[in-house]
Chain A
Amino acid sequence: MKRDVVTSVLAVIVFAILLGLVYPLVITGVSQVAFPGDANGQKVYVNGKLVGSKIIGQSFAKPVIGKNGKPEEKEEELVTEPVLTYFQSRPSATEGGAYNAAASTFSNRGPNDKVTEEDDAENIKVYLEQNKAYDPGLSVSRVPVDAANTSASNLDPEISQANAWIQAHRIAALRKLSLSVVDGLISKYTSGRGLGFSGERGVNVLELNLALDRLTGGTH
């Protein structure tokens, strides 16, 4: 018994140092040297300013300025409105505002919950309001599922191609571009399947929006 106790204590200390300090620090160090971009979160800069991470989704909305000239808040969350000249990301239900990457969370909406149906219906309504004017054929049954459902991490950086193609009508009209130019950009920022078969194609919203800005010289 005493022998086991001594060995156990020694083992916990030795393994804590080896596996808890040496191993993670070596892996982190090697990654920092070999893949600095990936290891640090694929930061994206515009004119030297950090504007996001390529693989973390974000909200393309702006704060609503209230009558007192300050950004409006409701229940300690910033009130925002979507900037329609940008492609919009999937709905996100993180706390403290959409796409809060300091606190990823599942939405935990059940398959048979009324709340899920209501949230879906609300997201569909918003999507139609944003896009129907530019894509008159758009109806509820044509709204892609990813545009109405929240993702798992609620930080999904991508939207489906179907979603992007519909929004392209709006972007083309508002930015005065031809639809084929916008569709071309969508193809350019669509990720492929892993090894040719794994997963699904998705369009990176941040990269696509930044490419649009480069093309039309900003939005404002």
Chain B
Amino acid sequence: MTFAGWLTIVLFVVILTALAIPLGTYMAKVYSGERVFLSPIFAGPERFLLALLRVDSKSEQDWKSYAKSLIVFSLAGWLFLYLVLRTQDAFFVPHALNPQGFHSGPWNISFNTASSFVTNTNWQFYSGETTMSYLSQMVGLTVQNWLSAGVGIVVAVALVRGIIGRGGKSLGNFWADMVRTILYVLAPLSVIVAIVLASQGVIANLSNYLVIHTVTGLQQTIAMGPVASQHSIMLLGTNGGGFFNTNSAHPFENPSQFTNFFEMLSVLIIPAALVFMYGRMTGNRRQGYAIYSAMMLMFLGAVIVAFIAEAHGSPAQHAAGLNTHVISGSTGGNMEGKEQRFGIAGSALFDVITTVTSCGAVNSAIESFTGIGGAVPFANLSASEVIFGGVGTGLYSILLYVLLAVFIGGLMVGRTPEWLGKKLEAREIKLAGLGILITPLAALFCTAMATATKGGRASISELGVGPQGFSETFYAYLSQANNNGSALAGYTGYIQPNAGNLGAHGVTFADLLGGFDMLFARYAPILFALAVAGALAGKRVTPAGLGTMRTDNPTFVVLLIGVIILVGALTFFPALLLGPVVQGLTGHLY
């Protein structure tokens, strides 16, 4: 462990908070329909887009109507993406946008990939630079990076509107919210981040792959592509699907020490800001601060454990005789699967950030993390993406937990639970409970299916022996259920023959199971969240009395953390024990 490492973590938290508060205020104004400083620029395009889509933004939707628009829109996006992937080498694709002449994706991997990008998961059963044309990356994947992020955010906004609703039914208008999200929130941030990254060495071109003759007489081919534009929105939208196979570890996606820090901020800025937005929209900013504190405490716990564990080194390293202490000119630690420029702290922090959020981008190999260090991403996912979480998904998921915590707290003090002046009744609690349990259910069911069948075990990598094989499998379906998309990358959904551009053969079992895992665990919780919003919107507000449990003080923060850990632990402990915990507790090599 180094001083600079700890300093990075502290400064990251400070800078993040300082940036997220004003962004949260800004977003609260955007979704309350107030004028913001960008209104003069975007008001025109906003009206134009809504007219083009034939949307009457004044028409308000109840939760069912809102959900219907969302589902139909997602389905249309899914079909379009699937089509793009399946026609990669069709006659109408210009050569300039598929310079390497990649073949079309097979149906099974395309099914998985389309489901993955539409659900904001960005699980990748393909390798970018060996299978995806520039057109697929742009028109296919980049577009869904925007839209899936937008869908997550508008659901969170709808839920907040339900919570603060005053007796009506309306949650707003889905289309108007989508357009506002894209124009006012995602577009400005994405353009800024893309330009900054491009100025720091993230490539942005449509060239053929470079063929180089090195000074020692070898030949090296270097993949190219329009990376900066996709990379920025993939970070901001907590999507996480890398342009290249090795994602944000690839020097063309994350070239320097500075970009690593900048990219970490880009991932967490919107999920953090949304919490402050929530506080502002409820009219009591302390509500936001309370949730932010709960998230931040769990986040810091995860970072500290991961950093210490990775700095300690792995059993395999020690068995080989490596000295993993800090020495002059080297940080030591578990550098297997880590880049020199990021070091231990920059790698641990990045991977914690992208696994607490549903981003899932990685700048180091999670599969090579030590048992305890690797248990941290597992734990983050087991908390069902409520520690900041994905854009929007994090907020609506933790609000369901808040509801549950208020309910439990109410039971403890023996009063009807009340939340922001609204009495919580059986219907909301049932809906929230189901919404919370869907994701673990999907993850555990799929893991069981995959470990119990030959078809599932076929995906375990050659190196995945002993508990590692179980960890790979469990992580795969846990990550897909949480719409995260990071991986113990040995678990494969395709077999790539060494045959140039012939593409890959999918492993149908893993592709389909994973695809359904993602779709189910994305849309079912969304429906439950919207249903909760609908149920709350109609309730009348009663002023808080003496017996009302406060949801904006430290006691509640502790209660909330307790509930989240309890639910996560009760659901996932047995599975966690079989994988990462075994590896963390033993120095045994398999």
A and B associate in one complex: yes
User: In the docked arrangement, what's the CA distance between A122 and B418, Å?
Assistant: 64
Tell me whether A178 is interfacial, beta carbon within 8 Å. Answer: no
Given A16-B143, A50-B212 in contact, is the A107-B365 Cβ separation under 8 Å? yes
Query: CB < 8 Å: which of A43, A56, A149 contacts B317?
Result: A149
Nearest opposing residue in chain A for B3, CB measure: A197
Query: CB < 8 Å: which of A108, A141, A164 contacts B367?
Result: A108
Tell me whether A42 is interfacial, beta carbon within 8 Å. Answer: yes
Which residues of chain B are near A161, meaning CB under 8 Å? 328-330
Tell me whether B230 is interfacial, beta carbon within 8 Å. Answer: yes
B343 touching A199 by the CB < 8 A rule? yes
Which residues of chain A are near B77, meaning CB under 8 Å? 8, 12
Query: CB < 8 Å: which of A96, A108, A191 contacts B488?
Result: A108
Give chain B's interface residue range (CB within 8 Å of chain A): 35 or more
Which residues of chain B are near A155, meaning CB under 8 Å? 246, 250-251
A40-65 interface bits toward B, Cβ cutoff 8 Å, 1 = contact, 0 = none = 11110010011111011111111100
Query: CB < 8 Å: which of B226, B313, B333 contacts A28?
Result: B226
Which residues of chain A are near B317, meaning CB under 8 Å? 116-117, 120, 145, 148-149
A111 touching B215 by the CB < 8 A rule? no
A111 touching B251 by the CB < 8 A rule? no
Tell me whether A135 is interfacial, beta carbon within 8 Å. Answer: no
A16 touching B80 by the CB < 8 A rule? yes
Q: Which of B33-74 contact A (CB under 8 A)?
A: 49, 52-55, 68-69, 72-73
Given A42-B201, A52-B214, A103-B129 in contact, is the A202-B340 Cβ separation under 8 Å? yes
Which residues of chain A are near B255, meaning CB under 8 Å? 55
B340 touching A159 by the CB < 8 A rule? yes
Query: CB < 8 Å: which of A4, A32, A43, A117 contacts B204?
Result: A32
Nearest opposing residue in chain A for B201, CB measure: A38
Q: Distance in Å from the Cβ of B313 to the closest Cβ of chain A? A: 8
Q: Main SS of the interface on chain A?
A: mixed
Which residues of chain A are near B201, meaning CB under 8 Å? 38, 42, 55
Tell me whether B305 is interfacial, beta carbon within 8 Å. Answer: no
A110 touching B330 by the CB < 8 A rule? no
Tell me whether B259 is interfacial, beta carbon within 8 Å. Answer: yes
Nearest opposing residue in chain B for A96, CB measure: B498
Query: CB < 8 Å: which of A10, A40, A108, A160 contacts B463?
Result: A108
Tell me whether A121 is interfacial, beta carbon within 8 Å. Answer: yes
Q: Which listed segment binds A: B368-376, B439-447, B510-518?
A: B368-376
Which residues of chain B are near A116, meaning CB under 8 Å? 314, 316-317, 336, 368, 463, 589
Tell me whether B200 is interfacial, beta carbon within 8 Å. Answer: yes
Q: Which of B318-344 contact A (CB under 8 A)?
A: 319-324, 327-344
Query: CB < 8 Å: which of B220, B333, B465 contacts A52?
Result: B220
Q: Which listed segment binds A: B24-32, B154-162, B190-198, B560-568?
A: B190-198
Q: Which listed segment binds A: B134-142, B278-286, B529-537?
A: B134-142
B246 touching A30 by the CB < 8 A rule? no
B369 touching A111 by the CB < 8 A rule? yes
Q: Distance in Å from the Cβ of B368 to the closest Cβ of chain A? A: 5
Tell me whether A200 is interfacial, beta carbon within 8 Å. Answer: yes
User: In the docked arrangement, what's the CA distance between A57 and B255, Å?
Assistant: 12
Tell me whether B378 is interfacial, beta carbon within 8 Å. Answer: no
Query: CB < 8 Å: which of A51, A108, A150 contacts B213?
Result: A51
B218 touching A53 by the CB < 8 A rule? no
Given A8-B73, A19-B143, A103-B129 in contact, is the A38-B365 Cβ separation under 8 Å? no
B251 touching A55 by the CB < 8 A rule? yes
Q: Which listed segment binds A: B4-12, B390-398, B421-429, B542-550?
A: B4-12
Nearest opposing residue in chain A for B331, CB measure: A200
A12-52 interface bits toward B, Cβ cutoff 8 Å, 1 = contact, 0 = none = 10111001110111011011101100111111001001111
- Beyond A28-B205, A28-B229, A195-B261, 19 additional contacts (C-beta under 8 Å) are A7-B53, A8-B76, A28-B226, A34-B198, A50-B213, A55-B201, A59-B218, A101-B222, A106-B337, A107-B337, A108-B461, A108-B488, A109-B463, A112-B589, A149-B336, A156-B339, A194-B258, A199-B346, A200-B341
Q: Which 7 A-B pairs have the closest CB atoms?
A: A199-B257, A200-B343, A194-B258, A161-B329, A162-B329, A194-B257, A152-B249
Spell out B's residues near A (CB within 8 Å).
2, 4, 7-8, 11, 49, 52-55, 68-69, 72-73, 75-77, 80, 127, 129-130, 138-140, 142-143, 146-147, 175, 178, 182, 190-191, 194-195, 198-207, 209-210, 212-218, 220-224, 226, 228-230, 232, 244-246, 249-252, 255-262, 313-317, 319-324, 327-344, 346-347, 362-365, 367-371, 373-374, 461, 463-468, 488-490, 498, 583, 586-590
